[in-house]
Structure 1
């Protein structure tokens, strides 16, 4: 297997012994040894060796379907990176990506983990990594690349009702095209396709990101226009999304309010759309909203940038 770094002879032998334990099915024994040796390396200031050890351990446990063990070592890896204040950059990011790529995909009947365990494990590990990145050099909302990796995973592996979790991370990434594809893949019920489209556009806008909201709408239009789901583009809610995008290009609060009133019946299909537009009004027109109650808490979670 590819090694995470340039280990000394002793470290290499240690990794080989631990890997053999995992291959032999001695998962718990190997897990305890990984944690013990990691603590020893950290105490001796052998930081690179400590991170190499956990990157290797998390990867091999995951490769053998041991999701819980892999996540535990992955979280220790992020903890170690945080402890030594490892700066966000390509080399550090590669450690996270190397562990992430070893997570298995949808479980088979023989798998020792459930879909729920897998999704929770990936989310826990990646959210920890995103928090580390936000503290040590990435944008304040965390690494866009890590957000995109998690979003793609959640969109692919989650049951359809959990797409909102993927949306949260897509709007913190830099890939509206991938977001558009995820939205279209989630259009399992034709009558709800326009709701997904509007949520995606309004989420970008709720973060003040008019550029990517426009890119998302244009990408959705491009992918949908010649497809079996082209009827989504004729929906009043889709028309509203386009009109909102055009309105926000200029100082036109009265028009913004008029559009909300004229399309009230479409917006009322999903109360969260009005909540999102309340945030959009605050972002673009400085219209102050009361932030209390259930929806106020929801919108704070969606727009404040916490992973």
Structure 2
């Protein structure tokens, strides 16, 4: 295509408002698939013309209206395309852009999967199975969108790990919407976030519904993950906030050897006391062996606080935990 034809095609693109109105009407009329194809093809033309802001308007509108009508797969696909357009346009991380991402995030459905079968569920559990399948689709669609947004935010320089606010949003959605909650994944995103109080609230909620023996493991994992990042401040804040939340509910943090280890570890790391740190690891090894990732986290903590380098840093389970 000649340069003059390319310039003419850019001028010939209609204002996005007309396209948005037309496609929203299509979705409202139940023509979800046809509208989806048009959202994709139309936004692609604007992107080819380097009209990234117009393409973003179309894709955001499409994601919101599809999600509003319960079309999670379609809405999630357009949401990811929204982030891809941010990348293609090399657009910076502005507060306004974050607000647009949050608006799409807020549009994803939140429907709790029932924990108990009631009269609404047939004997063979078909409806429950359908509810769980739908929850998996929702969780994966939203997670794909937010993971893409986190990668983009890391590329444009908000933080080496990506936007802390986006990590918190992803942690919240995985915890509240996934039918099989992966607490390691939830904790890894909270730790890269900026809201240890919200993390403590989630842990308190988890303690009220987890199996016996999972509560102290979840608490220890959160603290050790913070410490593996060199973040002693938020590790202490997490424990203090959790203690206050449980006290107000007339509950308390589990009194186990693993929690006792964490309580001893936190003040130890405030001092130049590597021999004491090593002694604690040896004394409570049977407790920390309950989760295979704890030893790797403790190796990284030794490196961060005492300069004791690991032989294979960031490999194995530890490295997997902090992948986006």
Structure 1 length-normalised TM: 0.90
Q: How many residues align?
A: 295
Distance (Å, rounded) in 2 between the aligned partners of 1:169 and 1:98: 20
Correspondence 1:298 to 2:320: no
SS for the counterpart of 1:87 is: coil
Correspondence 1:91 to 2:91: no
For residue 30 of structure 1, what is the aligned residue in structure 2?
35
Q: Is the 8 A contact 2:167 2:189 kept in 1?
A: yes
Distance (Å, rounded) in 1 between the aligned partners of 2:131 and 2:71: 9
Distance (Å, rounded) in 1 between the aligned partners of 2:198 and 2:112: 24
Q: Deviations over 1:186-217 (max 9, x none)?
A: 22234331111111100100111111111111
Q: Is the 8 A contact 2:203 2:218 kept in 1?
A: yes
Distance (Å, rounded) in 2 between the aligned partners of 1:280 and 1:202: 8
Distance (Å, rounded) in 1 between the aligned partners of 2:285 and 2:237: 25
Distance (Å, rounded) in 1 between the aligned partners of 2:154 and 2:15: 34
Distance (Å, rounded) in 1 between the aligned partners of 2:82 and 2:291: 41
Question: Out of 142, 145, 159, which is 2:165 matched to?
Answer: 145
Question: Out of 141, 151, 157, which is 1:121 matched to?
Answer: 141
For residue 132 of structure 1, what is the aligned residue in structure 2?
152
Question: Out of 89, 105, 111, which is 2:110 matched to?
Answer: 105
Distance (Å, rounded) in 2 between the aligned partners of 1:205 and 1:221: 18
SS for the counterpart of 1:168 is: helix
Question: Out of 5, 16, 20, which is 1:15 matched to?
Answer: 20
Query: 1:111 offset after TM fit, Å?
Result: 7.5
Computing the radius of gyration from Cα coordinates, the structure with the larger value is 2
Which segments of 5 or more consecutive residues in structure 2 lack a partner in the other structure? 1-12, 114-126
Q: Is the 8 A contact 2:26 2:32 kept in 1?
A: yes
Question: Out of 69, 77, 83, which is 1:78 matched to?
Answer: 83
Which segments of 5 or more consecutive residues in structure 1 lack a partner in the other structure? 1-7
Question: Out of 173, 189, 192, which is 2:193 matched to?
Answer: 173
Q: Deviations over 1:234-284 (max 9, x none)?
A: 222212112111011111110001111111222222222222111111111
For residue 279 of structure 2, what is the aligned residue in structure 1?
258
Distance (Å, rounded) in 1 between the aligned partners of 2:82 and 2:181: 31
Structure 2 length-normalised TM: 0.85
Matches within 5 A, 1:152-301: 152-159=172-179, 161-187=181-207, 188-227=210-249, 229-230=251-252, 232=254, 234-291=255-312, 296-301=315-320
Distance (Å, rounded) in 1 between the aligned partners of 2:146 and 2:295: 30
